[in-house]
C-alpha cells in the first residue's frame, strides 16, 4: 500500500532515446600497431568503447547541446527539470556562470550513455518530466557527439606527409650503408654461418650468426653445465650417505628389501624377548631365534652396503664425466677466442641492417597510406535511430514497484520469522511449556541462590512450589504416585539435582519411605547438597564392589534414604548397560514407597536414555529461558521411546517479574500474612 501510494504521488518522467552506431578505427601513426579488431586485443576494444561513452557525455558535448538548445538562457530548463535549488553565486562565480554550471550538472545527472548488449550501438537516453524535452536533448547529444568526433579528425597533424618524406630519405641512406658494410665484412673474415641450420633444428628464427666452432662450443658448454649439476648432486648424496649410519640412510630405508628385513628383525626380536621371559638363553628355541636374528643382521648389513656402494659409484662416474667434458671445453675455447671478435662485429652489422630495413619499410607503408587517404575524412559514427516523443512515462512503473514492494514485504516476513524462531523461541514461562511443547507442566520453581535452606523452610515459596510438583507427580497416573521416578534435563546446571532432592524431601514429609539415587556417575552432586560421604555409592554397586545395603545412607530428613553417586567411574555407560541397575531397582521398589533417580542430562549422553526404560515415570527439568523449542523436543524424543510414563515438566530458575507475571508471589504473601496473625 505504501508503494502504491508513493507511486501515484511521484512525478512522471519520460525517456528520449537516440541510437548511434560506433565503428572502430585503427588509429595508426607508423603503421606497425596490431589491428584493434583482432581477438588478441579485446582489452583495447573495451577501452575504446568505454572511451566513446565518456566522449558522448563529456563537458564539451554537453556545453554544445546547451548552447544549441538555449538552455543557458534564464531558468526555464531548470524549472522544467524540477530543479528547486538556486545557482550558487559568490565571489568566484557570477550568476550566469553559476547557472551554466547548474545546467551542465542537471544534464549530466539525467543523461545515460551505454552500449546495448554485445553490439556497437551506443544508446543515448535523457530523462525529464517533459517527453518533448527528453527527445530534443537526446537528439542534440547524438548530433553534437558526431560533430565533435569529426572536428577531432580534422585537427590531425598537417605536416605528416612532409615529415615522413624526410624520414624516408634518411632511412634509405642508412639501410644502403649498413647492408654494404655487413656484406664486405663477411667476405673479408670468411665466417661460415650455420644459423639457418640451427634455427631449422630448433624451429625458431636466429638473427645471430654462428660458426661451426661456436655451435660446438655452445652444445659442449650445455653438456658440461648439466654434468656439473649431476656431479654436485651425486657428491652431496654421497657425503650425506657417508656421514650417516648405514641403516639411517633414507635410500637404504626406502629399499623394499631393507624394509622387509627390518620387519622380520622386529618380529624375531619380539619373539626372542618373549621367550626370554620364560626360558633361558641356551634353550634350543631361544638359540634358534637368536641365530635367525644374526642372519637378518648380516643380510641387512650386506644389502645396505651394496646400496651405499652404488651411491659412491654414481658419484665417481659423474665426476669422471665432468673432467672429460672440461678438457674438451678448454680445447675449444682457444679456437673460439680467435673468431669471437669477428662474429660479434658481424652480428652488430647485420642487426643494424635489419633494423634500418624494418624502419624503411614501415615508413614507406605509412607514407603510401597517408598519400592515398590525403584529404579524405571518414567518420566512424552514424545515427541509427533518432529520439521520438513517447507519450508513455517510464517512471514510476506501478506494476514493478508493487512487485518489488511485495518481494520486500515477503523478505522482511521471512527475516522476522527466522529471527523470531532463532532468538525468541526459548521456553521461559509455564505457558510456553503448554503452547510450544504441548507437554504437561508440573510446576515452576522461582529463582533462588540458597535452595536447600528454602526447602528446609516448609513455609517458603520454594517449598510450596515443590509441594505442587509433588502433588502433580502423585496424580500423574491412574494408579497414584509411581513407584520409581527419573529426573533428567537437556543440559547440565539446570537445577535437576536440587529439584530431585527437594521432591524427595517433600515425599518424605508425607511419611513415605523414600529412596534417592544419584545415577549421575560423571558429576555426582547429591552428596554435596545433603552433606553425605561419597566413598561408596552407585558406581560401587554397579561394579559389584559393594552391596546395595552397604551403600544406602540416612540423611537429616526422616524417611529419606540416599544412595550417592560414589567414586567417578571411567565408563558410566558400560556400567548402566548391565543388569545390576535393573535388579537393584526391582529390589528397591519393593522396599520403598517411591524411588527417585537423578540422571545425567540428555545432551550428548546416553545414560538417561538407557535408564528411561527402568522407571515408571519421567520428569523433565528445564531452566527458564535457556533452551530452545527444537533442542528440547529433540531431547524428549530420545526418552519417549521407552514405556515409562512422562509425568511432566518442571520449570526451574523462573523469574515471574521479568516475564511479566507480577502477581505470582500473591499466594505466598497471603499465606505468610495469615500465619503471622495466628502468632
CA distance 530 to 515: 13
Domain endpoint, select from 372, 406, 438? 372
Residues 634 and 524 in one domain: yes
Take residue 12 and report the three cell numbers written for it.
512522471
Residues 435 and 420 in one domain: no
The DSSP letter of residue 40 is: G
Query: What's residue 50's pLDDT?
Result: 86
> Average of pLDDT values for 645-664?
72
pLDDT higher than threshold 90 for residue 515? yes
Residues 277 and 297 in one domain: yes
CA distance 179 to 188: 15
pLDDT higher than threshold 60 for residue 676? no
CA neighbor of 515 nearest in space, from 541, 544, 495, 479: 541
What number of helices (H) and strands (E) belong to the chain? 25, 12
Rank 284-288, 478-482, 618-622 by mean pLDDT and report only the highest: 618-622
Residues 620 and 479 in one domain: yes
Which 3 state secondary structure label does DSSP give 225?
A: helix
Query: What's residue 397's pLDDT?
Result: 65
- Per-residue three-class SS string for 72-125: CCCCHHHHHCCCCCCCCCCCCCCHHHHHHHHHHHHHHHHEEEEECCCCCEEEEE
594 exposed, middle or buried (CB, 10 Å; 0-12, 13-18, 19+)?
buried
Residues 70 and 137 in one domain: yes
With cut-offs at 50, 70 and 90, classify the pLDDT of residue 627. confident
pLDDT higher than threshold 70 for residue 473? yes
Take residue 2 and report the three cell numbers written for it.
505504501
pLDDT higher than threshold 70 for residue 249? no
Residue 618 domain-assigned? yes
pLDDT higher than threshold 90 for residue 6? no
> Residue 481: CA atoms inside 13 Å, Cβ hemisphere, count?
23
Residues 466 and 335 in one domain: no
CATH number reported for the structural domain that contains residue 469 in this entry: 3.40.50.300
| DSSP alpha helix (H) spans, 475-614 | 496-509, 526-529, 538-542, 548-551, 572-576, 580-591, 607-611
Residues 592 and 496 in one domain: yes
Whole-angstrom CA distances from 3 to 406, 409, 426, 672 are 9, 11, 36, 61
> Average of pLDDT values for 276-290?
78
Angle, CA of 294, 297 and 298, to the nearest 5°: 90
Model confidence pLDDT, tens digit, residues 69-101: 888 887 788 878 878 766 666 556 777 888 888
Mean pLDDT lowest among 250-254, 386-390, 604-608: 250-254
Residue 143: phi, psi to the nearest 5? -65, -45
> Average of pLDDT values for 523-550?
91
Residue 283 domain-assigned? yes
Q: DSSP readout, 348-373?
A: HHHHHHHHHHHHHHHHHHHHHHHHHS
**Residue 319 belongs to what H/E stretch?**
helix 284-372
Model confidence pLDDT, tens digit, residues 539-550: 999 888 989 999
pLDDT higher than threshold 80 for residue 331? no
Residues 434 and 418 in one domain: no
Residue 167 domain-assigned? no
Domain endpoint, select from 385, 405, 424? 424
539 exposed, middle or buried (CB, 10 Å; 0-12, 13-18, 19+)?
buried
Query: What's residue 667's pLDDT?
Result: 38
Model confidence pLDDT, tens digit, residues 460-472: 888 899 999 999 9
Query: What's residue 30's pLDDT?
Result: 42
Residue 547 Ramachandran class (φ > 0 left, ψ -120 to 50 alpha, else beta): beta
- Domain boundaries, position 417: 395-424
Query: What's residue 387's pLDDT?
Result: 82
pLDDT higher than threshold 80 for residue 658? no
> Average of pLDDT values for 319-337?
76
Domain count along the chain: 4
CA distance 535 to 62: 96
pLDDT higher than threshold 60 for residue 666? no
3-state helix, strand, coil in the chain (%, to 5): 60, 10, 30
Residues 509 and 637 in one domain: yes
CA distance 137 to 17: 9
Query: What's residue 526's pLDDT?
Result: 93
Residue 116 Ramachandran class (φ > 0 left, ψ -120 to 50 alpha, else beta): beta
Residues 410 and 474 in one domain: no
Residues 355 and 466 in one domain: no
Residue 677 domain-assigned? no
Strand 121-128 relative to strand 111-115, pairing: antiparallel
CA distance 541 to 582: 12
Query: What's residue 562's pLDDT?
Result: 95
Query: What's residue 192's pLDDT?
Result: 58
Is 106:87 a contact under the CB 8 Å cutoff? no
Of 26 and 5, more confident: 5
Residue 379 domain-assigned? no
Percent residues over pLDDT 70 in the chain: 80
Mean pLDDT lowest among 2-11, 177-186, 434-443: 2-11
Query: What's residue 151's pLDDT?
Result: 77
CA neighbor of 123 nearest in space, from 389, 444, 384, 507: 384
The edge-to-edge listing of strands for the beta sheet with 617-623 is: 441-446, 645-654, 617-623, 484-489, 594-598, 514-518, 560-563, 553-554
Q: Which residues contact 319 (CB under 8 A, 6 or more apart)?
A: 231, 234, 235
> Residue 622: CA atoms inside 13 Å, Cβ hemisphere, count?
30
With cut-offs at 50, 70 and 90, classify the pLDDT of residue 595. very high
Domain endpoint, select from 105, 135, 156? 156
Residue 385 domain-assigned? no
Residue 513 domain-assigned? yes
509 exposed, middle or buried (CB, 10 Å; 0-12, 13-18, 19+)?
middle
Mean pLDDT lowest among 74-88, 119-133, 313-327: 74-88
Take residue 568 and report the three cell numbers written for it.
567417578
Query: What's residue 552's pLDDT?
Result: 93
> Average of pLDDT values for 358-366?
83
Residues 9 and 93 in one domain: yes
Mean pLDDT (the chain) is 78
Is 587:578 a contact under the CB 8 Å cutoff? no
Amino acid at each position: 500500500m505504501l508503494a502504491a501510494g508513493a507511486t501515484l504521488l511521484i512525478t512522471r518522467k519520460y525517456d528520449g532515446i537516440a541510437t548511434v552506431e560506433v565503428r572502430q578505427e585503427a588509429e595508426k601513426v607508423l603503421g606497425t600497431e596490431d589491428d584493434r579488431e583482432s581477438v588478441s586485443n579485446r582489452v583495447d576494444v573495451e577501452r575504446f568503447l568505454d572511451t566513446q561513452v565518456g566522449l558522448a557525455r563529456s563537458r564539451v558535448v554537453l556545453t554544445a547541446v546547451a548552447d544549441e538548445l538555449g538552455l543557458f538562457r534564464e531558468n526555464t530548463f531548470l524549472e522544467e527539470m524540477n530543479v528547486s535549488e538556486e545557482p550558487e553565486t559568490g565571489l568566484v562565480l557570477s550568476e550566469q556562470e553559476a547557472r551554466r554550471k547548474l545546467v551542465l550538472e542537471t544534464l549530466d545527472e539525467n543523461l545515460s550513455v551505454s552500449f546495448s548488449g554485445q553490439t556497437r550501438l551506443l544508446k543515448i537516453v535523457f530523462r525529464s518530466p517533459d517527453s518533448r524535452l527528453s527527445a530534443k536533448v537526446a537528439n542534440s547529444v547524438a548530433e553534437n557527439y558526431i560533430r565533435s568526433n569529426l572536428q577531432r579528425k580534422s585537427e590531425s597533424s598537417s605536416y605528416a606527409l612532409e615529415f615522413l618524406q624526410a624520414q624516408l630519405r634518411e632511412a634509405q641512406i642508412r639501410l644502403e650503408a649498413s647492408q654494404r658494410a655487413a656484406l664486405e665484412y663477411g667476405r673479408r673474415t670468411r665466417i661460415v654461418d650455420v644459423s639457418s641450420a640451427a634455427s631449422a633444428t630448433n624451429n625458431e628464427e636466429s638473427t645471430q650468426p654462428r660458426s661451426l666452432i661456436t655451435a660446438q662450443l655452445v652444445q659442449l658448454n650445455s653438456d658440461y653445465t648439466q654434468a656439473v649439476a649431476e656431479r654436485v648432486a651425486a657428491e652431496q648424496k654421497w657425503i650425506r650417505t657417508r656421514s650417516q649410519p648405514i641403516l639411517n640412510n633414507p635410500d637404504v630405508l626406502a629399499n623394499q628389501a631393507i624394509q622387509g628385513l627390518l620387519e622380520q628383525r622386529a618380529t624375531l626380536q619380539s619373539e626372542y624377548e618373549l621367550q626370554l621371559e620364560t626360558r633361558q638363553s641356551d634353550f634350543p628355541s631361544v638359540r634358534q631365534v637368536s641365530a635367525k636374528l644374526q642372519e637378518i643382521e648380516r643380510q641387512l648389513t650386506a644389502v645396505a652396503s651394496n646400496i651405499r656402494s652404488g651411491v659412491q659409484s654414481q658419484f665417481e662416474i659423474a665426476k669422471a664425466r665432468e673432467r672429460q667434458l672440461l678438457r674438451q671445453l678448454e680445447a675449444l675455447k682457444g679456437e673460439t677466442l680467435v673468431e669471437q671478435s669477428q662474429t660479434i662485429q658481424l652480428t652488430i652489422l647485420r642487426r643494424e641492417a635489419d633494423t634500418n630495413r624494418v624502419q624503411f619499410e614501415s615508413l614507406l607503408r605509412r607514407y603510401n597510406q597517408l598519400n592515398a587517404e590525403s584529404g579524405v575524412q571518414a567518420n566512424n559514427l552514424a545515427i541509427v535511430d533518432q529520439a521520438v516523443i513517447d507519450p508513455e512515462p517510464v517512471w514510476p512503473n506501478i506494476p514493478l514497484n508493487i512487485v518489488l514492494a511485495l518481494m520486500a514485504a515477503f523478505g522482511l516476513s521471512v527475516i522476522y520469522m527466522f529471527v523470531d524462531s532463532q532468538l525468541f523461541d526459548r521456553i521461559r514461562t509455564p505457558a510456553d511449556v503448554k503452547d510450544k511443547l504441548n507437554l504437561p507442566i508440573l510446576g515452576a520453581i522461582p529463582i533462588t541462590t540458597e535452595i536447600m535452606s528454602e526447602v528446609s523452610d516448609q513455609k517458603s515459596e520454594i517449598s510450596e512450589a515443590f509441594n505442587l510438583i509433588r502433588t502433580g507427580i502423585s496424580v500423574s497416573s491412574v494408579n497414584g504416585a509411581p513407584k520409581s521416578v527419573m529426573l533428567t534435563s537437556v543440559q547440565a546446571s539446570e537445577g535437576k539435582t536440587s529439584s530431585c532432592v527437594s521432591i524427595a524431601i517433600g515425599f518424605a514429609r508425607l511419611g513415605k519411605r523414600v529412596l534417592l539415587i544419584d545415577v549421575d556417575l560423571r558429576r555426582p552432586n547429591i552428596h554435596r547438597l545433603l552433606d553425605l560421604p561419597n566413598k561408596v555409592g552407585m558406581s560401587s554397586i554397579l561394579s559389584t564392589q559393594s552391596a546395595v545395603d552397604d551403600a544406602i545412607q540416612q540423611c537429616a530428613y526422616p524417611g529419606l534414604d540416599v544412595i550417592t553417586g560414589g567414586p567417578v567411574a571411567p565408563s558410566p555407560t558400560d556400567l548402566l548397560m548391565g543388569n545390576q541397575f535393573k535388579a537393584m531397582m526391582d529390589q528397591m521398589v519393593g522396599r520403598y514407597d517411591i524411588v527417585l533417580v537423578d540422571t545425567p542430562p540428555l545432551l550428548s549422553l546416553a545414560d538417561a536414555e538407557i535408564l528411561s526404560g527402568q522407571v515408571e515415570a519421567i520428569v523433565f527439568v528445564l531452566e527458564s529461558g535457556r533452551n530452545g523449542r527444537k533442542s528440547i523436543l529433540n531431547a524428549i524424543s530420545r526418552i519417549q521411546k521407552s514405556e515409562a510414563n512422562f509425568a511432566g515438566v518442571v520449570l526451574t530458575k523462573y523469574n515471574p517479574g521479568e516475564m511479566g507475571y507480577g502477581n505470582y508471589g500473591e499466594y505466598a504473601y497471603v499465606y505468610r500474612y495469615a500465619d503471622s496473625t495466628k502468632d
